[in-house]
A and B are shown apart, each in its own frame.
Chain A
Amino acid sequence: MLRVEDLHLTVGGDLEAVRQVSLTVGRGESLGLVGESGSGKTLTCRAVLGVLPPGVAVSRGRIALGDTDLTALDRRGWDRVRGNRIAAVFQDPASYLNPSLTVGRQLAEQLRLKRGLPRGETRAAAVALLEAMGIRRAPAVFDQYPHELSGGMLQRTLIAIAVAGRPDLLVADEATTALDPAVQAEVLDLLRQLREERGLALLLVSHDLAVVAEVCDRVAVFYAGEIVEHGPTDEVIANPRHPYTEALLRVASLGDWRRRDLEVIPGRPPELGAFSTGCRFAERCAHFTERCGTPVPLSTVDGRTVRCHRAAELALVGA
């Protein structure tokens, strides 16, 4: 349903921030994008939503939703796609709601414009939708302002607004990151439930592999603007093929994923514009060899895509 083919994104016209990204999300499927901040996962999903930050542009490639080419849409075209076919939730839900309107009004607006409900019916429908998102006291919440609600409540409200137009695909960009662990688990449960009940496809972005592992069938690991490994989640986790994935697994809160005191991967990713022509992870890699200085093509190993010269020969530790 969503097809991203050979996507390249540039910053300020010449710096390439995202390179050669290809991915697909089928109906009712869920794909996770993981990586450190600045790895290009958020830019990729912003490109899918058509809200790239100023100065960032698609320089090559195609994003298609069904048979609509999203990269060719004008503003009016986007307005028909967003909210109806794609929707999104983000980190820091409070900032994504208008602070001077009640959450109910914002949900009702969405129901009216995107589902065509008449004014008189929106309130009942909105309250029902809030309840379906697991919000107790929904009628009271309807009349509250964003600053009066907790982070978990806000994220549920934002999800309600997102699914109000019955979209096919929900993009969740670090949607649970700022929440405390118990609430994070509940929101992830809600996403899973929406997927099962409504056939909603998910594109879930997180820096935490454990979060992705909870919800996603497949995972794409981003490093320095490229996908370095892409395959079924359980296989990638059990048997990583790229050294960066292995490193991520070590620092992820897998198993006990409410753990907060995570290890860190030594070193830092290369700066934008300072990418080498070879493997971009080489500097921090424990398995570095001479060959790693040369350009790395994507290869297919064990039914998954990997960007590593030594993908077939390394024995890496999974979780």
Chain B
Amino acid sequence: MRRLALAALAVVALLAVAGGLLAPHDPLAQDPDLALHAPTWAHPFGTDYLGRDVFSRLLAGTGTTVAAAVESVGVGLLLGVVPGLASLWLGRGVEWVLLRAVDALMTLPFIVFAVAVTGILGNGLTQAMIAIGMLFAPLFFRVTRAAGLALTRAQYVEAAELFGASRSRILRTHVWGKVLPTVAVTAAQATGGALLAVSSLSFLGIGVQPPAPTWGGVLASDLGFLAQQPWAPVIPAALIALTVAALNTLADDRGTLRVAR
């Protein structure tokens, strides 16, 4: 299962980098005569309501979609891991404030918050993904803290402190090695969540601006023409579902944790 998941993700990663180059057609080229056409050799996944090649749009959209997901997870990592470690070593006051802040972030619903942030800061993918990333922060914060908390009482860290190792050195050598694997697993899981969030936002018309293609955008536009092409949403939906499933498999697999260590 893990190999299958890794293979699927490798393909997605390849498409993210080179999808635009592999696309047989211009993902933005419209052809009104070919609108909502069934699959042919030239258009293996058919065409959308503007006659654009769905296959090319999905290939070209992989980059934006994956980049958006990775971006938000990156923000979450930054805002979660660093304060997570800080909460352990910078004293009670900092810890208290950070814990409340995390609790506060956890009360915010992802999509509502992303909509609000784009409403105030401007409707762009970066704004939306920063919002989603902020809400991932509690997840990483907790994982980091849990892994680090066990370490603050571990004897070898104490021993290192006795030998006069500096705090930053302890953090680097001992803590990092223990915290990183769980953080990696959480990141895989969060990336799946981010993909779903990105597609939901595309559906709402938030983040990516048309006509730029994304998986969620293709899916959302297909759903508007169910009467003509009831099969069309299956392709982008399957693409999203399989990627998320691969990430979940990776996060659930015990072997992943071992390899990461």
Do A's and B's CB atoms come within 8 Å in the complex?
A: no
Residues of A bordering B, CB below 8 Å? none
Residues of B within 8 A of A (CB): none
